[in-house]
Amino acid sequence: METLYILINCDLGSEVDIINELAKISEVKEVRGTYGIYDIFVKLQADSGSTLEALITHKIRRLPKVRSTVTLTPILSQGGR
């Protein structure tokens, strides 16, 4: 199972609409509005990295009012949970 995290910047006031659209995607395991530099945090999981890459490129980044994304890949060898 592959896991990626995405930080999203969006148009002011569009957070709830984007969160609702993201929540409909089966690979989205967690989605939250956030305070700070980024507006939305997303946790994605799928069987392959290529599935996640396609999802980010062809679906998430193309959602209306999404301005930019940052994708974070966990370093599993450093431990954590």
Mean pLDDT over residues 64-70, rounded? Answer: 98
Ordered by start, the domain boundaries in the chain are: 2-67
CB 60 within 8 A of CB 22: yes
Model pTM? 0.93
CA 63 to each of CA 3, 7, 31, 73, 80: distance values in angstroms, whole numbers, following the listed order: 21, 14, 15, 21, 32
CB 32 within 8 A of CB 40: yes
CATH number of 2-67: 3.30.70.920
d(Cα 15, Cα 10) in Å, to the nearest integer? 7
What mean pLDDT, rounded, does the chain reach?
96
Res. 55: pLDDT tops 90: yes
81 pLDDT band (50/70/90 cuts)?
A: confident
30 pLDDT band (50/70/90 cuts)?
A: very high
Measure CA 57 to chain center. Answer: 11
